[in-house]
Structure 1
Amino acid sequence: MFLPPSLEELIPLNHPGRTVNQIIDQIDLSSVYNRFSENGASSYHPKLLLKVLVYGYLENYY
């Protein structure tokens, strides 16, 4: 049986996305989480959005 490759196999260890991921994971975003409502439509996780935004700026995608 063949399994699809995992993201760990596809993204090199020295990729800037890994660095952004590690840095953002260390930030306390509890004040942001408190502003999100449980009601209404589902939303993307704030930490994920921040990672995408920072990586986009790092790669000049804006």
Structure 2
Amino acid sequence: MSVALDLARARAAGVRAARADEPRTASPYRSDAGTARERMLWLAWNSGYDSVKPFPVDYES
């Protein structure tokens, strides 16, 4: 499979996880993985997740 297709699928999986109300930690990829490919898949998954459930930011602190 191509890398672009894998990235698109990882992002779509992140969207599905957020819509299914799964925790952000449900990502099958790791941000500290040994390969750049898995780190990019983690970024894509989180991008999809964030598009549905943005990470809360407290601006009052």
Band the TM-score falls in, shorter-chain normalisation: under 0.3
Under a length normalisation based on structure 1, what TM-score does the superposition of the two structures give? 0.26
Rg (Cα) greater in structure: 1
Which has more helix, going by share of residues? 2
TM-score by length of 2: 0.26
